[in-house]
Amino acid sequence: MDLKTKIQTATKDAMRARDAARLSTLRLISAAIKDREIAARSGEGEVAGLSDADLLAILARMVKQRQESAKAYEEGGRLELAEKELAEIEVLGEFLPRPMTTEESEAAIDAVIAELGASSVRDMGRVMAELKTRYSGQMDFGAVGQSVKQRLL
């Protein structure tokens, strides 16, 4: 079952269970997917199908947005809003693959650098693009960027 189907099934289940908070988050996911599909339409009006990697990138972006919002709410003393954001992160996390450990990330970085034959900082863009393609939703690319840069110096 592809990721989009899993999200649709979870939405139906949340409707049946009358779980308003979960349903709200799932509808936000569906809306983000729909927006991306509309943006990806070709000139003839046909919808170009989004791959699971595209969907994982959307979900990862949504998680990052909610993490930033939760942090801002906590700093502002709005704990109830921070809790809502964290609850949404939990729902989003159900559809993301397990995050890689630091050791797994380091091994993946080394493998991609070796495969691409990257040898200088000029190759960093290619390495990061390949990592994002392969490990979208599994790595924290902010931290990975620093690690890749150190290896290529």
pLDDT tens for residues 125-137?
999 999 888 887 7
Whether residues 139 and 110 share a domain: the answer is yes
Whether residues 71 and 15 share a domain: the answer is yes
Whether residues 37 and 89 share a domain: the answer is yes
Whole-model pTM over 0.85: no
Whether residues 68 and 87 share a domain: the answer is yes
Whether residues 118 and 68 share a domain: the answer is no
Residue 19's pLDDT is 93
Whether the per-residue pLDDT at 150 is higher than 90: the answer is: no
In one-letter notation, the amino acid at residue 1 is: M
Give CA–CA dist 147/109, Å, rounded.
8
Say how many C-beta atoms besides its own lie within 10 A of residue 148's C-beta. 23
Whether residues 21 and 74 share a domain: the answer is yes
- Alpha carbon 151 to chain centroid distance? 25
What is the span of the domain harbouring residue 148?
A: 102-152
Return the SS3 of 76. Answer: coil
Give CA–CA dist 130/19, Å, rounded.
38
Count of domains observed in the chain: 2
Whether residues 78 and 12 share a domain: the answer is yes
Say how many C-beta atoms besides its own lie within 10 A of residue 72's C-beta. 13
Whether residues 87 and 115 share a domain: the answer is no
- Helix segments in the chain, DSSP class H: 3-17, 20-39, 52-75, 79-93, 102-116, 124-135, 141-152
Residue-wise pLDDT for 32-54, tens only, equals 999 988 887 765 555 557 888 78
